[in-house]
Structure formats: C-alpha cells, structure tokens
C-alpha cells in the first residue's frame, strides 16, 4: 500500500512539475537566419518584397510540388496563400508593412496542420560584398506550447537557411 501511495505522489509531482516549468520558459519563440548576397540592396529588396518570386526560393515548395498557391495584390496588403499536404499545411502570408530597401513585415497565419499566427520579417542591409539578407520569425507561444517554442529554432532554422541559400543562388545567377 505504501508503494502505491509513493507512486501516486510521484506522478502528481511530475504533473505539477510539467505544469509549473512553462512559467519559466520564454513566452515568445524566435528564429533568425542571415546570409550575404552579392547584389545591391535594391535588387535583394525588390526580389524579397514580391510574392510572385516566393515560389522560386521557398524552402517548402519542393516538399509538395502539388501544393497550390495564390497571390492577391502587390505591396502592403498583398497576400500569398498556400494549401499543401500535411507536411507543408495551409495558410497565408500578408504584407503588413515595409520600408523600401530595408524590410518587409509579414503576418503569417497557419491554418493546418495547426492554427497559429506569427510575425515574419525579411530584411536587407548593405554589406561589404553586397547585401545582408535576414529572415526572422517571432511567435507568441501559449502556456503549454512553450515547450514547443524551445524546439522552433531547430525545426525551422534549417528551412530558413535553405530559403536564404535559394535567394542567394537565384539573385547571384541573374
């Protein structure tokens, strides 16, 4: 009987620990990657700020070649939507702000495989050999999802690196 009581207290302790730890975890998940591209800032900015170019450098396009996409408008307020298999899911990106030759702010909305919203920024700045191009994403993590927030950099970082490598390859071949 004592062993069952000990096991019960242990299980309750683990559950309490599981519920308490998120209090001490970051409430925001951030992923940031950068590369240098041997083109002028305006060329890099114009490429990044045009959703029509996104399919050429998206790291997810090759995962689901049957993915459907649509683009509405251009500039601030334009929207890129996609619907793909379970691995790429579905959602949309809306340009919510930009400063010419500096950055593009995007509201990213995931519909499936789970619902969430994130802020994404593509930025460009002068570099010694051309332009430094950065891709950043910031997302508020609900209480228990903070555990997942610890893994976001590892999960998305390689995709951001691949996308930036694609940007570099496309722009430097033009």
**Radius of gyration (Cα) for the chain, nearest Å?**
20
Tokens describing residue 80: 């890129």
Query: 174 falls in which pLDDT band (50, 70, 90)?
Result: low
pLDDT, one tens digit per residue, over 104-150 is 999 999 998 888 899 999 999 999 999 999 999 998 887 677 767 77
Give the residue with greater pLDDT, 13 vs 144.
13
Distance CA 169, CA 173 (A): 6
What is the pLDDT, as a whole number, of residue 58?
92
Neighbours of 100 (CB within 10 A): 12
pLDDT, one tens digit per residue, over 49-101 is 999 999 899 998 888 888 999 999 989 999 999 999 888 899 999 999 999 99
């Amino acid at each position: 009987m004592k062993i069952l009581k000990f096991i019960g207290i242990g299980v309750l302790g683990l559950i309490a620990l599981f519920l308490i730890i998120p209090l001490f975890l970051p409430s925001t998940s951030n992923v940031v990657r950068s590369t240098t591209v041997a083109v002028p800032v305006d060329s890099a900015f114009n490429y990044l700020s045009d959703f029509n170019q996104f399919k050429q450098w998206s790291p997810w396009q090759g995962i689901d070649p049957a993915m459907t996409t649509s683009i509405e408008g251009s500039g601030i307020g334009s929207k890129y939507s996609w619907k793909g298999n379970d691995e790429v899911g579905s959602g949309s990106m809306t340009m919510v702000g930009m400063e010419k030759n500096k950055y593009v702010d995007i509201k990213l909305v995931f519909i499936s495989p789970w619902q969430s919203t994130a802020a994404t920024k593509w930025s460009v700045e002068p570099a010694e050999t051309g332009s430094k191009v950065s891709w950043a994403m910031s997302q508020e993590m609900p209480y228990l999802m903070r555990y997942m927030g610890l893994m976001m950099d590892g999960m998305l970082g390689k995709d951001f690196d691949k996308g930036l490598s694609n940007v570099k390859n496309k722009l430097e071949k033009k």
